[in-house]
Amino acid sequence: MPFKLCIIGAGSVGFTRKLCSDILSVPEFEGIEIALTDISQQNLDMIAQILRKMVEVSELTTKVTATTDRRRALEGARYVMNTVRIGGVEAFATDISIPLKYGVDQCVGDTICAGGILYGQRGIAAMLDFCADIREVCPSDHLLLNYANPMAMMTWAAIDHGRVNTVGLCHGVQNGHRQIAAALGVPMGDVDIICSGINHQTWYLDIRHKGRAVEKGELLEAFERHPVFSRQEKVRIDVLKRFGFFSTESNGHLSEYLPWYRKRRDEIVNWISTDDWIHGETGGYLRHTRETRNWFETEYPTMLKEAEKPLSQWKRTDEHASHIIEAMETGRPYRGHFNVKNRGTITNLPADCIIESPGWVDRFGINMVEGVTLPLACAATCQASVDVQRMSVRAAVTGDIELLKLAVLHDPLVGAVCSPDEVWSMVDEMLQAQMQWLPQYAQA
């Protein structure tokens, strides 16, 4: 069943290798074409050499191409993966440093809050260009699998304004699933979950160990007594205690989506752990990115050596992309949690927003389990983010600076810290610092 897969942002060498090793492990995908595209020729050359070695060792007929010409790479592609980060570390640094001057303390800055919103402005401008090319040169039955953050905003823009069939994919639900099993002290395969909400704010509504329901009290006790999680996941544990439900993503992520945990610098220390950046360190993800941005250059010889292993020795990951494509191409059903247009999947969130919830995939495409109703507190928390996302997407598409400022003003953490005048000044400063990546605001 030959088809063409294009990966935009394939210069993310480690992640591209992971996605492609999953794809190459599907026997029916013999003879497909994987087209890699990125703005970095050096990175493209490295990942292309790794993948070609993997193909050669396993005696596959898969074709691997690499080009900085995005449109050429996209031509004829039935499946497109997007993994880009627009502006790189240079823009990311201002996502964190400028808000911090105004008292907005972020750990990650990739979802909402001031940094996530501006990250979305940069990403959506590029996403709409990608979508224009996809509409023109890809088959009508194309599917865009978006891995780029801010997930909800990027996916919303691609569907509504890019007019491209899109699903957003994240590994947050799987990571939380692993943590729950570890806290309970049982194998992950023995734990079943139903998780629903919005990306990075998805809630484990039903947890079962070998069919037995795991209630709030048992889960809370498991996390509170765990020697590592009790230290590293204080915000998530507190939310579990008060809301009754565990949330996806890390302590650092969740702490900046809510107005309660990072608004006073003297209190932040009570909620974070410095064991690792992801547990709440101020600017933690930026520091991690700076320190590891060129890791693949030193690790490249090792990665090339690992590529000499036959695919039978590679363990397929739980990233959704290969499983979705396999289900659509072979009809073998796959269940996962996907970011899609709501349209009634979650009854108490707006129909037009992007939700993350369980669904099934087969030859008929992605079909969501409809009729989920979130607990009131979970829905209220998601709704606050959805309102920010909606304004942010519309601002990015129209170049409306006033709407952009209103989006930032309505962000839960920003609103807990800044006055309206401070928000206006902060956004002006961020726009000035990032204007080279924000063409929609060039005439504003």
pLDDT in tens, 296-305: 678 899 999 9
Instruction: Specify if 355 maps to a domain.
Output: yes
Burial classification of residue 321, based on how many CB atoms lie within 10 Å of its CB (0-12 exposed, 13-18 middle, 19 or more buried)? buried
Question: Looking at 217-221, 390-394, 440-444, which range is the least confident one?
Answer: 440-444
Identify whether 152 is part of a domain: yes
The answer as to whether 389 is a domain residue is yes
Residue 323 resides in a domain? no
What's the rounded mean pLDDT across residues 138-159? 99
d(CA 198, CA 270): 27
Distance CA 217, CA 240 (A): 10
- Compute CA distances 159 → 135, 172, 294, 421, whole Å: 12, 22, 33, 34
* 48 and 163 together in one domain: yes
Number of domains within the chain:
2
Q: Is residue 334 part of a domain?
A: no
Mean pLDDT of the chain: 97
Specify whether 101 is located in the same domain as 183: yes
Looking up residue 366, the CATH number of its domain turns out to be 3.90.110.10
pLDDT mean over 182-208:
99
Q: 3-class SS at 198?
A: strand
- pLDDT at position 294 over 80: no
Residue 126 lies in a domain: yes
d(CA 7, CA 83): 8
Q: How far apart are CA 333 and CA 330, in angstroms?
A: 9
CATH number of the domain within which 38 lies: 3.40.50.720
Is there a single domain that holds both residue 14 and residue 68?
yes
Q: Domain check: are 351 and 214 in the same one? A: yes
Handedness of CA 393, 399, 400, 405 (dihedral sign): positive
User: In terms of domains, do 56 and 129 share one?
Assistant: yes
Cβ atoms 205, 194 nearer than 8 A = yes
Write the CA distances from 18 to 79, 271, 314, integer angstroms: 17, 33, 10
Q: Is a pLDDT exceeding 70 seen at residue 282? A: yes
- Name the least confident of 175-184, 208-217, 299-308, 394-403: 299-308
Convert the pLDDT of each residue in 164-177 to its tens digit.
Answer: 999 999 999 999 99
- CB-side neighbour CA atoms (13 Å) of 369: 16
Show the tokens assigned to 141.
């039955």
Of the residues 79, 257, 285, 441, only one is catalytic, namely 257
With 80 as the cut, is the pLDDT of residue 205 above it? Answer: yes
Q: Is 257 annotated in the active site?
A: yes
Q: Are 154 and 220 in contact (CB under 8 A)?
A: no
Contact indicator for 398, 372 with CB cutoff of 8 Å:
no
Tell me the per-residue pLDDT of 50-104, one tens digit each, with 9 for 90 and over: 999 999 999 999 999 999 999 999 999 999 999 999 999 999 999 999 999 999 9
Res. 295: pLDDT tops 90:
no
- 75 & 186 share domain: no
Average pLDDT over residues 342-356: 98
- What own/partner pairs with CB < 8 Å and gap ≥ 24 does 417-424 have? 417/102, 417/103, 417/104, 417/263, 418/102, 418/103, 418/104, 422/102, 423/102
Query: Is-contact 420 409, C-beta < 8 A?
Result: yes
pLDDT interval class at 185 (50, 70, 90): very high
Asked if 354 and 389 count as a contact pair (C-beta separation under 8 A), the reply is: yes
324 within a domain of the structure (yes/no): no
Per-residue pLDDT tens digits for 219-257: 999 999 999 999 999 999 999 999 999 999 999 999 999
pLDDT of residue 1: 65
Q: What is the pLDDT of residue 355?
A: 99
For range 147-158, the mean pLDDT:
99
Please tell me what DSSP assigns to residue 65. E
Q: Are residues 101 and 180 in the same domain?
A: yes
150 and 48, same structural domain? Answer: yes
Among the listed residues 205, 237, 207, 255, the one whose alpha carbon sits nearest the alpha carbon of residue 379: 205
Residue 17 has pLDDT above 70, yes or no: yes
Q: How far is CA 6 from CA 54, 70, 79, 80, 365, in A?
A: 18, 9, 6, 5, 19
In a domain, 289, yes or no: no
Catalytic residue, chosen from 102, 161, 171, 300, is 171
pLDDT for residue 192: 99
Tally of CB atoms within 10 A around 221:
12
**Whether residue 24 is found in the same domain as residue 102:** no
- To 5 degrees, how large is the angle CA 69–CA 73–CA 79? 145
Which pLDDT value is given to residue 378? 99
Tokens of 96: 């964190």
What average pLDDT does this structure show over 22-31?
A: 97
Using CA atoms, how far apart are residues 323 and 336, in angstroms rounded to an integer? 9
pTM attached to this predicted model: 0.97
Active site residue 79: no
- 138 and 269 in a single domain? The answer is no
Q: Are residues 145 and 207 in the same domain?
A: no
Q: What are phi and psi of 130, to 5 degrees?
A: -60, -45
- Conformational region of residue 191, where left means phi above 0, alpha means psi within -120 to 50, and beta covers everything else: beta
Residues 361 and 441 in one domain: yes
Q: Which domain holds residue 108?
A: 90-114+170-282+339-444
Q: What share of the chain has pLDDT > 70, as a percent?
A: 100
3-state secondary structure at position 57 = helix
**What does the buried/exposed string (b/e) look like for 183-199 if buried means 16 or more CB atoms within 10 Å of the residue's CB?**
bbeeeeeebebebbbbb
Q: Which two tokens stand for residue 18?
A: 């992971």
Q: What percent of the chain has pLDDT over 90?
A: 95
